[in-house]
């Protein structure tokens, strides 16, 4: 019985910890964006372009859930003015526009904060065993996949 109640307690705590982590991650990203002179959605657009590669405005709208046309165009305009993205014609189809991140500009503006956080995380990760680190990586990868799947489900409905 004690084992079951311990597991139930830890399962409940896991839910609390994940909710807190997700809320703090969103608030952290928003604070970083504001500190850097952009809004949170714009920073996420730039981040997705860095991690997933260049995209047409329509593809970027799909990645972010913003409306193609108005909202994504406004975000791209702001990012371009800030120097964080470029907008160029697709060399293979001049009718298409390709939006690409400018990593040097993004790192120049946000590298101080992300570098500091990265150093703090690395210091913590250095305290973990190889097995603990592998578990942590699996846990975060699984959480990201659950979030990705739920985003897709929400967008379909």
What is the domain-level CATH number for residue 79?
A: 1.10.10.10
- The stretch 77-88 carries a mean pLDDT of 96
In a domain, 118, yes or no: yes
In a domain, 32, yes or no: yes
- The stretch 41-68 carries a mean pLDDT of 94
Residue 3: the pLDDT is 67
In a domain, 132, yes or no: no
Dihedral of CA 114/116/118/124: which sign? negative
Domain that holds residue 103: 2-126
* SS3 of residue 99 by DSSP: strand
- The stretch 27-43 carries a mean pLDDT of 95
Count of other CB atoms within 10 angstroms of residue 72: 25
In a domain, 15, yes or no: yes
Categorise residue 56: left if φ over 0, alpha if ψ from -120 to 50, beta otherwise: beta
Count of other CB atoms within 10 angstroms of residue 66: 20
Domain total of the chain: 1
The DSSP letter of residue 94 is E
Residue 126: the pLDDT is 97
The DSSP letter of residue 91 is T
In a domain, 151, yes or no: no
Residue 1 has pLDDT above 70, yes or no: no
In a domain, 157, yes or no: no
Count of other CB atoms within 10 angstroms of residue 74: 14
In a domain, 131, yes or no: no
- The stretch 136-154 carries a mean pLDDT of 94
Residue 67 has pLDDT above 90, yes or no: no
- The stretch 103-116 carries a mean pLDDT of 96
Query: Smallest Cα–Cα separation from 104: which of 50, 54, 45, 55?
Result: 50
Give this prediction's pTM.
0.83
In a domain, 148, yes or no: no
């Amino acid at each position: 019985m004690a084992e079951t109640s311990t597991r139930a307690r830890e399962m409940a705590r896991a839910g609390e910890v994940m909710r807190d982590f997700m809320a703090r991650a969103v608030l952290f990203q928003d604070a970083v964006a504001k500190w850097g002179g952009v809004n949170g959605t714009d920073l996420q657009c730039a981040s997705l372009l860095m991690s997933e590669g260049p995209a047409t405005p329509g593809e970027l709208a799909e990645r972010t859930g913003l409306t193609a046309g108005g909202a994504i165009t406004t975000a791209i305009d702001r990012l371009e003015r800030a120097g964080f993205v470029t907008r160029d014609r697709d060399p293979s189809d001049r009718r298409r526009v390709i939006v690409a991140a400018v990593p040097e500009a993004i790192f120049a503006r946000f590298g101080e904060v992300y570098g500091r956080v990265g150093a703090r995380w690395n210091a913590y990760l250095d305290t973990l065993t190889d097995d603990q680190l592998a578990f942590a990586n699996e846990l975060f990868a699984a959480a990201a996949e659950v979030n990705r799947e739920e985003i897709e489900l929400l967008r379909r409905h």
